[in-house]
Amino acid sequence: MAYKKAKKLKHVDSAIVHVKSSFNNTLVTVSTMEGDVLFRGSAGKMGFKGSRKGTPFVATQIAQTMAKDMSGLGIKTVEVNLSGPGAGRDAVVRALQGSGFNITFLRDVTPLPHNGCRPPKKRRV
């Protein structure tokens, strides 16, 4: 079976940064405008374990690592999609701004239930 070589992207002007922040972890994914994933990072990949993975400090470290990789491709403008209730949401945005990226959109794409699940049936005593 012949394997295809991965196509290397030499220069990208703008990208989308997807941030999924839960109470236990922060996941950051950088993709092109078409949706092709360029970089991924998480607190576990940075070497943090346990309850430290959900802290804003770790989210800042992840964003700074991503910023180094993104600047190597020539990315200047960024759209940010934030998802989840965790503490790392704002820290990632601040770290990206501090790294010199122009943030054009800041979207909150956290899924919210319109009416939620059906409640349990009424108790008969």
Length of the chain: 125
Domain boundaries, the chain: 14-108
Give the SS3 label for residue 115: coil
Tens-binned pLDDT, residue by residue, of the chain (125 aa)? 566 665 665 788 899 999 999 999 999 999 999 999 999 999 999 999 998 999 999 999 999 999 999 988 889 999 999 999 988 899 999 999 999 999 999 999 999 889 888 999 999 98
What CATH architecture applies to the domain 14-108?
Answer: 2-Layer Sandwich (3.30)
Task: List b or e across 93-104, with b for residues whose CB sees 16 or more CB atoms inside 10 angstroms.
Answer: bebbeeeebeee
